[in-house]
Amino acid sequence: MQWETVIGLEIHAQLATRSKIFSGASTAFGAAPNTQACNIDLGLPGVLPVLNREVVRMAVRFATAIDAELGRRSVFARKNYFYPDLPKGYQISQYELPIVGRGHVEILLEEGAAKRIGVTRAHLEEDAGKSLHEDFHGSTGIDLNRAGTPLLEIVSEPDMRSAREAVAYARKIHQIVQYLGICDGNMQEGSFRCDANVSVRPMGEDRLGTRAELKNINSFRFLERAINFEVERQIDLIESGGKVVQETRLYDAARDETRSMRTKEEANDYRYFPDPDLLPVELDDAFIEAVRSDMPELPDAKRQRFSEAYGLSAYDASVVTASLSLADYFETVAEAAGDAKLAANWVMGELAAALNKENLEIGSSPVDAPRLGAMLRRIADNTISGKIAKQVFEAMWNGEGGADEIIEARGLKQITDSGAIERVVDEVIAANPQQVESYRGAEAAKQGKMLGFFVGQVMKASQGKANPKQVNELLRQKLS
């Protein structure tokens, strides 16, 4: 039988505020345990949560970016469950009236076609603390620094039909929240977490199959693998006469499989009700207008602008706009170099390869954008050749200074003085009488290839510094 995969994602994006959603405790990552958990985060008696304005602003930003309906009046609710990293015994979340309603994003499929993926809703909630299961004499250690960190939970429609589409959608949301500056997107630190609802159904069937919810996925690569494993598992199960049960399954990256997590389904009875400690949030026109008039350029618009203003191909434009930091880097390089295509080639080629090799993010590149741009300008103005530039780049990467310094110190300046090049060309011709003879005797069609030998000799003699274009021209003249 032919099966169709149906996937919906729930993404938790940690909002990049300074303080928590309902308290004035810091949200900075990596502090000593429980030093950023105040009485509100601990749920001590008598405390009251007060909502952070920035969190509301960020949610409205997101709503604007995905063209979503706004919950002009939204309500916080208590989601009740017991777990030691949730000190109050409930999580403050939103249930019936979320702040962000129905919206959508577009993903690009491999064939180049676009597909619209619906976002059902996005709501604000507080994060829980962390449980450390290392051995504390048979006890579990609890760190509540993360408790109360603001989250935007973004729930998609079940619009994705393959693991690849799910990854493309997750990347798109990741890109948008980073462009908006509302989430740092760090998946390893858990600032951006994806849960996937996966089900299968016979091709052509309208009703949805029973879904499993996959958790514990901390990279896009694992998202794709976890979904592919789960789809296989469900198909095998059904085809061998079994039934998929609705449950939460944890992805185990080491074994590349998903495993059932809970058996007690009562755990899902959350008994939501409006939180009496918090009043409804109403967004007035002035607040919304202020957010909308302050929107940054979004990924799709930037991609469009890069391909038009800089003449980049659709592919190049989408690569350099993949993240905001890469797009900013590229743009600075392009401006400094005065040649956008050259900039794109270097950013996607030499630079990307060097970063990859050392497993670095663009933000921690040893060669910053103005420096790379300044070096490319030296290619554009013929000070150095593209080949010599690779040497200069390597030296910059190793901290030997800026391009001009390195070119000067190493004497890498390209020779463009035609008199000087002519002398080298004459020497090469004089030293290779046989090759000259056979070149002159060859058909025009073959000469082109044979010229390469002489160019190579001249470049060698000039230590790669002779301007290749001039060398070619001079050789052609002199050999004819």
Name which of 383, 385, 457 is nearest 475 in CA terms: 457
Instruction: Return d(Cα 364, Cα 242) in angstroms, integer.
Output: 51
Kindly identify the residues of this chain, within the stretch 252-271, that bind another protein according to CB under 8 A.
266, 269, 271
SS3 (DSSP) at 120: strand
Residue type, 125: E
Name which of 283, 271, 265, 209 is nearest 239 in CA terms: 209
Tell the smallest beta-carbon distance from residue 36 to another protein (Å).
7
Tell the smallest beta-carbon distance from residue 288 to another protein (Å).
14
Of 112 and 276, which has the nearer Cβ to another protein? Answer: 276
Contact call for residue 471 and another protein (CB under 8 A): no
Contact call for residue 86 and another protein (CB under 8 A): no
- Beta-carbon contacts of 206 under 8 Å, excluding residues fewer than 6 positions away, are none
Contact call for residue 43 and another protein (CB under 8 A): no
Backbone conformation region of residue 101, classed left if phi is above 0, alpha if psi is from -120 to 50, else beta: beta
Of 136 and 315, which has the nearer Cβ to another protein? Answer: 136
Of 84 and 452, which has the nearer Cβ to another protein? Answer: 84
Contact call for residue 45 and another protein (CB under 8 A): no
Query: Of 67, 69, 84, 446, which one interacts with another protein (CB under 8 A)?
Result: 84
Rg (the chain; Cα; Å): 30
Of 103 and 150, which has the nearer Cβ to another protein? Answer: 150
Contact call for residue 47 and another protein (CB under 8 A): no
Q: And the tokens for 377?
A: 């300008």
Pairing relationship of beta strands 90-94 and 281-282 according to DSSP bridges: unpaired
Task: Annotate 317-337 with DSSP letters as a single string.
Answer: HHHHTSSHHHHHHHHHHHHHH
Contact call for residue 248 and another protein (CB under 8 A): no
Tell the smallest beta-carbon distance from residue 281 to another protein (Å).
5
What distances in angstroms separate CA 98 from CA 65, 154, 174, 286, 339, one per listed residue?
A: 17, 11, 20, 20, 47
Kindly identify the residues of this chain, within the stretch 174-233, that bind another protein according to CB under 8 A.
none
Instruction: Give me the 137-166 binding string for another protein, x by CB under 8 A, dash otherwise.
Output: -xxxxxxx----------------------
Contact call for residue 309 and another protein (CB under 8 A): no
Tell the smallest beta-carbon distance from residue 154 to another protein (Å).
21
Give the footprint of another protein on this chain (CB under 8 A): 17-19, 23-26, 32-39, 42, 44, 50-56, 75, 80, 82-84, 89, 97, 131-133, 136, 138-144, 266, 269, 271, 274, 276, 278-282
